[in-house]
């Protein structure tokens, strides 16, 4: 059977075979005279391993090596498929030092088509047995990454403040944080991935109540002794992806040098956004893109910095509006791999705010003793003592 894409008489038939979303994409493409591009993308998708690759990469960005492990196929073969998918505009290729990560295209015809096809695969519950096996193997790749990161933080806790100072100027970053807070009244501050609790200590005299959350027992031990004198600050064990904090209760949430260690920074931003009061804000401090590949090996970095465009996409996806970033030049005092740090600030979109909400709201964070807190099922970590 031959279908002529440009023939309006064919469209109901295509809709029946492929679904309405694809036909809408086709129509958009026709309007944009991108038929060739569309046909190339359709051809690229129409191969079982490539469809499986798209399905897996829609869940998690991966390197070629990791995707080989998930698909159980050889590197040359997987590389060839990835090249086809990237050239067809379905995937973006992002270099991070010597590693290259593949992820779904950010926009364009390829992205529209990909969304439509994945809707059919995922929401239509069409995954094949091979696709289901892929997801199991993907979970084990992700678990290995998480275990390596957690082990690193357990081992580095006592020295973390000194390690951080190798790369950045704490003074410049901390001054920028204080400027952001200004004279605003902060009821509740949530420091996500608090580590040794430095951000809570820094902002303690500007807040009514501070809570730090971290997965690492060792980090939390250091934070507890640092915060001994601050009765209104507390730390507890918890996961950035599943914060046990009441939605809409936080005035300022901070992710200070946490995102570049995380497997899924977008999910962490979304979880943080969920905790924010309508007038609250999220402060993200992290590195601008850099090429110091060795920081993966030596310091457990997952991402070599972030583009503001990525932070914007994640914030917008979480219902936040991003302000202009504050760029903090590398510190002359930093002794190794001096890096540019960026402070991003985002607030809930206006439509989420209500007139009666404001900083007078009571702190609503669940304030249970540490021992009562839910313990993640992460295998490499002990419950907090």
Residue nearest to ligand SAM (CB): 195
CB burial string 98-131: b at 16+ within 10 A, e below: eeebbebbeeebbbbbbbbbbeebeeeeeeeeeb
Burial 40-50 (b: 16+ CB within 10 A, else e): bbbebbeeeeb
Q: Does 345 bind ligand SAM (CB under 6 A)?
A: no
- Is there binding between residue 257 and ligand SAM (CB under 6 A)? yes
Considering the complex, what minimum distance in angstroms separates the CB of residue 106 from ligand SAM? Answer: 25
Please report whether residue 352 would count as binding ligand SAM according to CB under 6 A: no
- With CB under 6 A as the contact rule, the residue among 61, 66, 134, 214 that binds ligand SAM is 214
* Separation between Cα atoms, residue 242 and residue 317, nearest integer Å: 17
| Of the candidate residues 194, 234, 249, 275, the single one contacting ligand SAM (CB under 6 A) | 194
Under rule CB under 6 A, residue 305 binds ligand SAM: no
Break the chain down into helix, strand, coil percent, rounded to 5. 50, 20, 35
How many other C-beta atoms can be found within 10 angstroms of the C-beta atom of residue 33? 8
Tokens, residue 221: 């031990």
Q: Which of 193, 278, 330, 348 binds ligand SAM (CB under 6 A)?
A: 193
Which is it for strands 62-63 and 99-104: parallel, antiparallel or unpaired? antiparallel
Q: Which is nearer to ligand SAM, 239 or 251 (CB)?
A: 239
Binding range to ligand SAM, per CB under 6 A, among 12-20, 45-53, 107-115, 254-262: 254-262
What does the chain come to in residues? 385
CA-to-CA distance for 238 and 214, rounded, in angstroms?
5
- Number of residues this chain uses to bind ligand SAM (CB under 6 A): 20
Q: Is 261 in the site for ligand SAM (CB under 6 A)?
A: yes
**Cβ distance to ligand SAM smaller for residue 167 or 352:** 167
Binding to ligand SAM (CB under 6 A) within 123-162 occurs at 153
The yes or no reply on residue 272 touching ligand SAM (CB under 6 A) is no
Q: Does the protein bind ligand SAM through residue 195 (CB under 6 A)?
A: yes
Least distance from ligand SAM to the Cβ atom of residue 239, Å: 4
Examine residue 226 and tell whether it contacts ligand SAM (CB under 6 A).
no
Q: Return the closest-CA partner of residue 281 out of 201, 169, 196, 177.
A: 177
Q: Are 127 and 121 in contact (CB under 8 A)?
A: yes
Q: Which residues bind ligand SAM (CB under 6 A)?
A: 153, 164, 193-196, 198-199, 214-216, 219, 239-241, 256-258, 261-262
């Amino acid at each position: 059977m031959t279908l002529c894409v440009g023939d309006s008489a064919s469209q109901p038939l295509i809709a029946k075979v492929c679904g309405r979303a694809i036909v809408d994409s086709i129509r958009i493409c026709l309007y944009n005279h991108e038929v060739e591009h569309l046909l190339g993308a359709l051809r690229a998708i129409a191969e079982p391993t490539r469809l499986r690759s798209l399905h897996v990469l829609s869940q998690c960005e991966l390197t070629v090596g990791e995707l080989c492990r998930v698909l159980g196929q050889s590197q040359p073969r997987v590389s060839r498929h990835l090249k086809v998918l990237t050239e067809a505009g379905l995937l973006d290729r992002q270099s991070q030092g010597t590693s290259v990560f593949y992820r779904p295209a950010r926009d364009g015809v390829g992205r529209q088509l990909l969304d439509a096809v994945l809707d059919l695969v995922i929401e239509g519950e069409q995954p094949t047995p091979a696709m289901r096996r892929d997801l199991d193997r993907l979970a084990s790749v992700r678990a290995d990454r998480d275990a390596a990161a957690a082990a690193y933080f357990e081992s580095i806790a006592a020295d973390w403040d000194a390690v951080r100072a190798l790369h950045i100027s704490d003074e410049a970053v901390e001054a920028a944080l204080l400027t952001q807070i200004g004279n605003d009244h902060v009821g509740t501050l949530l420091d996500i991935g608090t580590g040794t609790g430095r951000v809570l200590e820094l902002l303690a005299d500007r807040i009514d109540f501070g809570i730090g959350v971290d997965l690492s027992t060792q980090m939390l031990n250091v934070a507890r002794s640092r915060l001994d004198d601050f009765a209104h600050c507390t730390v507890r064990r918890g996961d950035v992806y599943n914060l046990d904090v009441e939605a809409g209760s936080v005035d300022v949430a901070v992710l200070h040098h946490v995102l570049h260690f995380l497997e899924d920074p977008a999910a962490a931003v979304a979880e943080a956004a969920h905790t924010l009061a309508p007038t609250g804000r999220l402060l993200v401090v992290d590195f601008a893109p850099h090429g110091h590949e060795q920081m993966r090996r030596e310091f457990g970095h997952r991402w070599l910095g972030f583009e503001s465009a990525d932070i914007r996409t994640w914030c917008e996806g979480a219902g936040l509006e991003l302000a202009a970033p504050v760029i903090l030049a590398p510190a002359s005092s930093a002794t190794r791999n001096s890096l540019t740090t960026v402070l991003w600030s985002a607030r809930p979109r206006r439509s989420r705010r209500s007139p009666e909400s404001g900083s007078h709201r009571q702190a609503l964070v669940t304030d249970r003793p540490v021992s009562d807190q839910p313990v993640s099922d992460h295998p490499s970590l002990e419950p907090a003592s």
